Structure 1
Amino acid sequence: MAAEFGCSHYIRKCKLVTPCCDKVYICRCCHDENEEHTVNRRAVTELICACCGLRQPVRATCVICQTRFGKYTCLECNLFDNEDKSQFHCYDCGLCRIGGANNYFHCRKCNTCLALRLIDNHKCVENASRTNCPVCVEDLHTSRTPCYVPKCGHFLHENCCQELLKKGHPLCPICEAPLDNVV
C-alpha cells in the first residue's frame, strides 16, 4: 500500500498541487527534497485524489469517489496521514506534532511543545525552538527530527547531539554547558 498510496514520509491517498511551482507531489517533504525552494504547506489549495485522479480543492475526502485522504487529517496544515503516529495539532505552535497531545505541554516562553517530563524540569529560553539547530542548521520548529533539550535550554536535534558526543564534544554548541542529560 505504501508504494501505491504515499511516499517514504507519509501514507496517504492524495497528492498536493504545490502553488509555488504548480507541480504535483505526494507531500511537502518530497517537494522540498526535489526543488530548490520550499513549499508553504498552508498555501496549498488543491490536491489530487490518488484513487480517481480528480484535481480538487483541499478537503478531507474526495468529491467524486469519497476516498478519505488520511485517517489523520489537519486542514490547517494540509496534512493527511494513514499511519497512526498519535498526531495532534498544536494551535500555539501552529503545526501538527506526533506523539499524542496528552504526552506534551506547550511552554509559552520556549514557544513550543515539550514532553511532559520537562514540565518542571527545563530551563526556559524564549523562542528556543524558533531557531536553527546549531549543528546541522536545519529549522528546529518545523523539523521532522526529534529535538533534544539540554539543561541549558538550547535546542538541537537528538541525532546531532549524539554525533557531538561521539566526536568528543560534550558541550552545548551555543553556551558550552554540558550535554549530560541526553535522552
Structure 2
Amino acid sequence: METAAEVVSSHCLVLSDFSESSPTHLSAMELGIQNFGCAHYRRRCKIRAPCCDEVFDCRHCHNEAKNSEELDAVDRHDIPRHEIKKVICSLCDTEQEVQQYCVNCGVCMGKYFCAICKFFDDDISKNQYHCDECGICRTGGKDNFFHCKRCRCCYSKVMEKGHRCVEGAMHHNCPVCFEYLFDTVRDITVLPCGHTIHLDCVKEMEKHHRYSCPVCSKSICDMTSMWKKLDEVIASTPMPETYKNKMVWILCNDCGVNSNVHFHIVAHKCLSCNSYNTRQIQGIPATSRSSRVTEMVR
C-alpha cells in the first residue's frame, strides 16, 4: 500500500505514483475508476448516513433528499459528516468501516481520501486538501490558500495582505440564496466590504442592476462612472421652484458620513466621498444635534 499512496498529512491520502512492477496492484487501484459516484463526486463507494441509517452516494445527495420540500419540516436534516462510520464498496457491495481500500476486493474507493471528513473523490485534479482550522476538506491546493483566524475560513493567498476581515465571514447563509456558505460547493467571492456571497448570486444581482452589498449596503464595485452619469442627469433635471431650497439629511452607505444636501428627486450625493449610494434620514443626525446643543450652551 505504501508504494501506491503518498501521505499528504496524517489523515489525508492522495494516490500518485503507482508501482510498475505490480500490474495486479495497479489494476486494483484503477478498477472502475470514474464509473461510479454521483453528480457531486466520482468515487467507488457509498456512505451509510448515521442520522437516518440510509445509504447515499455522498453527503450532498443525502442533504438534497432529506431537505426536500416534500418532507415534513421536522424531518429535514443535514448529515453529520464527521460521524459517518460505514461505507459500502460500489464494486463488491461490502459494507465496512471507513477506509480508503475495500477490505474485500481491495479496490481504492477514492484517490483522495480524508479520514476526518470521511471524504472520497477520484478526481484529484481539484487539488483537495484538509484544513485543520476549518475542520473540513477544501479544493484548490493547500499552497494557494491561507486560513484567516478572524474570518475563520480559507482565502486565496492573493488576498492575504489586503482582505478586509469580517468575524466569521463565511459562517452564515448567502444573503441572496440563503445557502450556508462555509461548506458550499459553489464558487464564493469576497466583496470589498469583506462580506461573502456566491459568485453566481453576485452575477444575478448585476443582471438586475443591484450593485450594493445585501448585508451592509456598501458598493460592491467601482461606481465612479455611474456617479458621473448621475451628475449629468441631476444637472439636466432642475427641481421645481418649491423644492429648490429644500434641504435633507442623508447617510452615505459607502463612507458612513452624514451630509445636509439639497433635495433632488433623482439621487443625493455624499459631500464626503461623492457617492450616490446614500439614503435619506429623518431629522438631524445625533452628532449634529449634540454639536448644536453645545453651541447653544456656550
Instruction: Give distance in 2, aligned partners of 1:56 and 1:2.
Output: 20
2:99 to 59, 65, 71: 59
Instruction: Give distance in 2, aligned partners of 1:166 and 1:116.
Output: 29
One-letter amino acid of the counterpart of residue 79, structure 1: F
CA drift of 1:4 comes to 3.9
Instruction: Give distance in 2, aligned partners of 1:28 and 1:111.
Output: 23
CA drift of 1:35 comes to 1.5
Q: Which has the higher helix share?
A: 2
Any idea what the Cα deviations from partners look like across 1:60-79, whole Å, max 9, x if unmatched?
Answer: 11111111111100010011
Residues 85 and 98, structure 2, Cα contact 8 Å, conserved in 1: yes
1:13 to 29, 44, 66: 44
Residues 33 and 44, structure 2, Cα contact 8 Å, conserved in 1: no
One-letter amino acid of the counterpart of residue 135, structure 1: V
| Secondary structure at 2:162 match in 1 | coil
Cα 1:2/1:157, change in 2 over 3 Å: farther
1:113 to 142, 151, 154: 154
CA drift of 1:3 comes to 7.6
2:56 to 9, 25, 30: 25
What is aligned with 2:25? none
Matches within 5 A, 1:138-153: 138-153=179-194
| Secondary structure at 1:9 match in 2 | coil
Matched, 1:73 2:113: yes
| Structure 2 alignment gaps of length 5 or more | 1-31, 68-76, 223-298
| Structure 1 alignment gaps of length 5 or more | none
Any idea what the Cα deviations from partners look like across 1:86-139, whole Å, max 9, x if unmatched?
Answer: 000000101000010111000111110001111112100011111111111111
1:167 to 198, 208, 227: 208
Residues 34 and 43, structure 2, Cα contact 8 Å, conserved in 1: no
Residue identity (%): 41
Any idea what the Cα deviations from partners look like across 1:35-57, whole Å, max 9, x if unmatched?
Answer: 13211111110010011110101
| Secondary structure at 1:56 match in 2 | strand
What is aligned with 2:141? 100
What is aligned with 2:81? 41
Matched, 1:156 2:187: no
Instruction: Give distance in 2, aligned partners of 1:4 and 1:88.
Output: 23
Q: Which one scores higher on RCO, CA 8 angstroms, separation ≥ 6?
A: 1
Any idea what the Cα deviations from partners look like across 1:17-46, whole Å, max 9, x if unmatched?
Answer: 111111111100111111132111111100
Residues 129 and 137, structure 2, Cα contact 8 Å, conserved in 1: yes
Aligned length: 181
| Secondary structure at 1:169 match in 2 | coil
2:219 to 168, 178, 181: 178
CA drift of 1:151 comes to 1.1
Larger radius of gyration: 2
